[in-house]
Structure formats: structure tokens, C-alpha cells
């Protein structure tokens, strides 16, 4: 590197701060997967797990591979094959690159000038893989927050638009999903979402209403250490819905209405009703998708929770379930014992407080 280039790099590092942003996993509480069928959902940010992205000014624009999630050096061919079988081919680098492209295009299309130099992006995450907790979108969301602050354009990119940008980045990579997860991660806290077709067609996004997280009863997260892939669940149902399958259409309307009922139940602190809605959400999903699509391990997680009298449903497309124990600590202990015997992991849920006011993209966890 020339002296001039080195001096330029040092000056950039001295005059610009390193930006680090965090985005949390999310739990689809009620109504999922109706977000991609013009329905209603309730979701919240899960404080137990998160992704962090760091943006550091640099001479060139660099996407830094993660030492574990973007592994390209192996001890043997057996190591490589085992890694691919367990983790797949994809790490996080593609996610960072995709949101950079989508963000740049959005700013260009909306006459938002991007002033500034280059940077190095790096990321880390502790969100368990393939658990339906939106680990990929958490990385994308945290990256978007870094870009908004690096270019100082946060006030020019409306908060309700940001979930669409995150989803667009994932669609660049062939990831099939809806807006629900990204809304929960952008807004934080507990959010009621209305994806009515009329509003979506007119504005391109849903209507998002933050709720008081204190309305939630104590919840538990159950997940498998080696879950099945959660990315293949929607395909057949989506096709049938588009073809006008009456059972799928009516069932999806019922699922969406569960979020409406759940909003009222939580507001009234009617947790008996809330538990019924959780169970019903999973039961309808099971009828629509079928056991083969959901997977025996995912179904077993729900059934283990229900075996002790708890209410349970998927957090997303599978890989983890959210559980409510209405009888309190004694029932929680039975849940923990049953999960341990079945080989599942249990965590008390932490809910991340809302940061929808957009004053600070960092959030504070609360129980």
C-alpha cells in the first residue's frame, strides 16, 4: 500500500466511528403464516438470541466472512462434507451483500444521495440455525441499521418501508418468506400486524401497531439442537392458495382471525383464551400443511409441551415452539423434565422492548 493510500485509510478511521447494531430473533405468536396471505399476525422480538453487525470505515468496501458461519478452510474432506450436511452451503456474507445492493437501489430510485467513503462489514450471531427464529433476517436488519446510520439517511427511509427492504434482500437470494418477521425485528417489542390486501396494494406494506409487552404472560421457548430445515414448509400450501383451494383459503382466514382474537385476549389478560388460540393456531396449520411437511421432530416438540398441559405452537415454520404454562412453576418444571427426556432445549422467554420511535436502533432486553 502506498503512503498516500495508507494515510487516507488512517484519516478515515480517525474521523469516523465504528458502528455496531443488533437485531433480535423473533417469535410468531399468533396468526402465522397468514402474513403472506393478506392476514393478521402478532409477533415479538426475542431477547434470548440476536445478530450483531459491525461497520468500520475502510479504504475499500469489504464484506468480512465469519470465521465459523462462512467457513472455507477444513481439516479434511470428511469435515467439509459433514459441515455441508449440517449447515448447508450458505453463510452470512451473501446476506450482507444482498442488503447493500437493495439499499443502494432504494436510495437511487428515491433520489437519496449517499455521501461517505467505504467500509468493512462483519457480523456475528447466536441465533440457533434452522429454528424458525428468523436468524437470516436478523443479520440483514442489523446490516440495514448500520447502513442507515453510516450514510445518515435514517430519517429518509421510513420505518414502515424497512421490513420490505429486508425482505427484498432475502428474495434476492431465493429465500421464501413474508413481512411478519422483518416487521418484528425493525419495530421491536410486541407488534400486531394487519396485512389486508387493500392496504398492501395501496401502500406496499401492512399496518403495524405496537402493543405493550407487559400484556404477555410468562412464555418458554423450546427448540431442537439439530432441527430440520424450516425453509420448505410454505411451498405446497402457497400453490394451493393461489389455485383457489377452498379449504386452504378458509383455513388461512381462520388463522388470521386468531391474531385478531389474540389481540383482544391479551388486552383483557384473558390467558385461558390466549392458550386456546395458541393451540388452535398449530392445529389448523397441521391440517393445512400435513405431518410430512411439518416434520416429526417439529410435531413432537409441540406434543411434548402439550403432554404436560401447556399450550404450544411453532414460532415460525418449524424448528422451535413457543410454550405457555398456565399452571405456573410446577407445570414449567414438568415441561423442563419432559423436554430433557425428549432431547429438547428450554429457555424462559425474554422480550425486547419496542424501539419503534426510531430514536436509537439499539434495544434493551426485559423479562
My answer on whether 158 and 291 are in the same domain is: no
Same domain, 246 and 164: no
Same domain, 206 and 297: no
Residue 153 belongs to some domain of the structure: yes
Whether residue 245 is found in the same domain as residue 326: yes
357 within some domain: no
Angular region, 56: left φ>0, alpha ψ -120 to 50, beta rest: beta
Cite the beta strand spans of 152-237 per DSSP E: 190-194, 207-211, 219-224
Catalytic residue IDs: 181
Q: What is the CATH number of the domain that holds 319?
A: 3.30.70.890
Number of domains making up the chain: 2
Which pLDDT does position 67 carry in this prediction? 75
What integer pLDDT is reported at residue 363 of this predicted model? 37
Work out the number of other CB atoms within 10 angstroms of the CB of residue 120.
16
* C-alpha cell at position 170: 432475502
- What pLDDT was estimated at residue 9? 38
Sign of the Cα torsion 71, 77, 79, 84 reads positive
How many residues does the structure list for the chain? 367
Q: Do residue 152 and residue 238 come from a single domain?
A: no
| Residue 98 near residue 10, CB atoms below 8 Å | no
Helix H or strand E segment including 312: strand 311-314
Would you say residue 353 lies in a domain?
A: no
Same domain, 161 and 255: no
Does residue 354 belong to any structural domain of this protein? no
Q: Going residue by residue through the chain (367 aa), what tens digit of pLDDT does each one get?
A: 444 444 343 333 444 689 999 999 999 999 999 998 999 999 999 999 999 999 999 999 999 888 777 767 778 888 888 877 776 666 788 999 999 999 999 999 999 999 878 999 999 999 988 888 999 999 999 999 999 999 999 999 999 999 999 999 998 888 777 899 999 999 999 999 999 999 999 998 999 999 999 999 999 999 987 765 444 444 588 889 999 999 999 999 999 999 999 999 999 999 999 999 999 999 999 999 999 889 899 999 999 999 999 999 999 888 899 999 999 999 999 999 999 999 999 999 999 887 555 534 343 333 3
pTM over 0.95: no
The three-state secondary structure class of 46 is: strand
CATH no. for residue 22?
Answer: 3.30.230.10
Does a structural domain hold residue 306? yes
356 is a domain residue: no
Distance separating the N- and C-terminal Cα atoms of the chain: 50
Q: Are residues 256 and 122 in the same domain?
A: no
Cis? peptide before 33, omega within 30° of 0: yes
The C-alpha atoms of residue 294 and residue 234 are separated, in whole angstroms, by 10
Residues 45 and 162 in one domain: yes
Residues 134 and 259 in one domain: no
The boundaries of the domain holding residue 308 are 215-348
Residue 183 located in a structural domain: yes
pLDDT at 51: 95
Same domain, 94 and 202: yes
Amino acid at each position: 500500500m502506498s503512503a498516500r493510500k495508507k494515510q487516507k485509510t488512517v484519516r478515515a478511521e480517525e474521523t469516523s466511528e465504528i458502528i455496531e447494531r443488533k437485531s433480535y430473533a423473533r417469535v410468531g405468536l399468533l396468526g402465522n403464516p397468514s402474513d403472506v396471505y393478506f392476514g393478521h399476525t402478532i409477533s415479538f422480538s426475542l431477547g434470548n438470541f440476536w445478530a450483531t453487525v459491525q461497520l468500520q470505515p475502510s479504504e475499500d468496501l469489504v464484506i468480512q466472512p465469519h470465521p465459523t458461519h462462512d467457513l472455507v478452510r477444513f481439516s479434511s474432506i470428511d469435515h467439509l462434507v459433514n459441515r455441508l450436511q449440517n449447515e448447508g452451503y450458505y453463510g452470512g456474507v451473501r446476506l450482507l451483500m444482498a442488503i447493500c445492493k437493495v439499499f443502494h437501489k432504494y436510495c437511487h430510485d428515491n433520489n437519496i444521495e449517499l455521501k461517505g467513503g467505504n467500509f468493512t462489514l462483519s457480523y456475528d450471531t447466536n441465533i440457533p440455525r434452522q429454528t424458525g427464529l428468523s436468524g437470516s433476517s436478523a443479520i440483514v436488519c442489523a446490516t440495514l441499521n448500520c447502513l442507515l446510520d453510516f450514510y445518515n439517511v435514517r430519517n429518509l427511509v421510513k420505518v414502515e418501508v424497512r421490513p420490505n427492504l429486508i425482505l427484498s434482500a432475502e428474495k434476492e437470494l431465493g429465500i421464501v418468506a413474508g413481512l411478519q418477521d422483518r416487521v418484528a425485528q425493525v419495530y421491536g417489542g410486541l407488534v400486531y400486524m394487519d396485512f389486508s390486501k387493500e392496504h398492501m396494494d395501496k401502500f406496499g406494506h401492512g399496518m403495524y401497531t405496537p402493543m405493550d409487552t407487559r400484556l404477555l404472560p410468562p412464555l418458554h421457548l423450546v427448540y431442537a439442537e439439530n432441527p430440520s430445515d424450516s425453509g420448505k414448509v410454505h411451498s405446497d400450501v402457497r400453490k394451493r392458495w393461489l389455485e383457489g383451494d377452498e379449504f386452504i383459503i378458509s383455513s388461512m382466514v381462520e388463522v388470521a382471525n386468531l391474531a385478531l382474537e389474540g389481540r383482544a385476549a391479551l388486552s383483557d389478560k384473558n390467558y385461558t383464551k390466549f392458550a386456546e388460540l395458541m393451540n388452535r393456531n398449530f392445529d389448523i396449520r397441521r391440517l393445512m400443511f400435513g405431518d410430512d411437511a411439518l416434520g416429526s421432530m417439529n410435531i413432537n416438540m409441540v406434543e411434548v409441551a402439550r403432554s404436560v398441559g401447556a399450550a404450544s405452537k411453532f414460532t415460525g415454520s418449524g424448528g422451535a415452539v413457543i410454550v405457555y404454562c398456565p399452571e405456573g412453576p410446577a407445570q414449567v418444571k414438568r415441561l423442563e423434565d419432559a423436554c430433557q427426556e425428549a432431547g429438547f432445549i428450554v429457555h424462559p422467554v425474554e422480550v425486547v422492548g419496542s424501539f419503534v420511535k426510531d430514536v436509537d436502533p439499539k434495544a434493551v432486553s426485559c423479562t
